Structure 1
């Protein structure tokens, strides 16, 4: 007797297995069994290498249906996705997606239909990998933007360390002039004067930079 298996991959905390199952049932699928991998990357870990994903290759038989929310649940690597779908089609397994309602079936022998089907598989697999790469670029851009904002908030990095600041403060307390302190510490005269004007601010600048 043929069965319908939902494969779910939950890679982040904001994704849930229940959501993927409910979504599939709402689309009209009658799920006989759910197989899921948690906290597994679809980029670096091939389906065959995942703890639960590899079970699909043992469980699915001719006439069965494999349901996934979208092809990115199978993976985000072009080669892995295309190899996986074609493998299951050769085994007589129908692969269906909840999103867009796509069906990949190896039963057809018409060359034009095969060409269209294979082109669609390639396109969807490429889209999954491209989306992952776009997400990574957006993440990198966000990290860089946050770093720049943080740097802007911290202000310019101090040209002195805590030990040098201590020397400046001590010499100022002893009545030394800015020019003399500049020669001793190697700081510019303007920096010494800024420290003299706002010693607390100079301390805070060191704190912000973790110095």
Structure 2
């Protein structure tokens, strides 16, 4: 029985190696890594991705599909829910690195099934809600950067974080990771993380003002 780690990155600022290292640091033994590059979790369904589609053929009953979090499967409620349910129907166990969640179809107890399915639905809805919040922050950041550009050429203080770090902080905050854990993984200060958490629009605008 194999454990296949699936990673999805939608931009060049995201890093598959980082996702894999985080999984291995959490104690997971990975037999194979499968990844989709440049794929949006919002607009591209899991079964329509080149390697997402392959996983339905690769994974067998008793195998484990490991992902950093459910948002790697997608950021659409129905897609995430249906994907996890389909893997469970095939006897594949789905596990997450963050929060250490395990989903399988082994239980026949209706109460346990109801609790499991409710949790899957909640996480799928959270993945979509987080995606919508990120888009809103991006739109706000772009608008703020344009407004400041129209007023003055002064760009303010250069951000103490890169876009890759910003993305990592934003995603881990969405997954309820602790500030100390985020600081350890990203290498940026707790104060900076709090600033990003409290005002993601301003953080986005600062990155845009200093782009290039």
TM-score by length of structure 1 reads: 0.71
SS in 2 for 1:36: strand
User: What does residue 140 of structure 2 align with?
Assistant: 141
**Distance in 2 between the 1:20 and 1:134 partners?**
22
**Superposition CA RMSD, Å:** 1.0
SS in 2 for 1:52: helix
Deviation (angstroms), 1:18: 1.0
Check if 1:81 corresponds to 2:80: yes
**Distance in 1 between the 2:79 and 2:2 partners?**
24
**Distance in 2 between the 1:110 and 1:116 partners?**
10
User: What does residue 166 of structure 1 align with?
Assistant: none
User: What does residue 183 of structure 2 align with?
Assistant: none
- The one-character-per-residue Cα deviations of 1:20-42 (angstroms, maximum 9, x if unpaired) are 11111111111111100011100
**Distance in 1 between the 2:4 and 2:152 partners?**
52
**Distance in 1 between the 2:107 and 2:18 partners?**
33
Q: Where does 1:118-197 land on structure 2 (aligned, <5 Å)?
A: 118-153=117-152
Structure 2: unaligned runs, 5 residues or longer:
154-212
Q: Which has the higher contact order (CA 8 A, sep 6+)?
A: 2
Deviation (angstroms), 1:14: 2.1
**Distance in 2 between the 1:17 and 1:139 partners?**
23
Deviation (angstroms), 1:71: 0.3
**Distance in 1 between the 2:116 and 2:124 partners?**
12
- The one-character-per-residue Cα deviations of 1:80-132 (angstroms, maximum 9, x if unpaired) are 00000000000000000000000001100111111110011011111111000
Q: Where does 1:1-211 land on structure 2 (aligned, <5 Å)?
A: 2-153=1-152
Aligned length: 153
* Higher Cα Rg, which structure: 1
**Distance in 2 between the 1:22 and 1:139 partners?**
28
SS in 2 for 1:12: coil
SS in 2 for 1:139: helix
**Distance in 2 between the 1:35 and 1:4 partners?**
11
- The one-character-per-residue Cα deviations of 1:60-91 (angstroms, maximum 9, x if unpaired) are 11000000000000000111000000000000
- The ranges of structure 1 where at least 4 consecutive aligned residues each deviate by more than 6 angstroms after the TM superposition are none
TM-score by length of structure 2 reads: 0.70
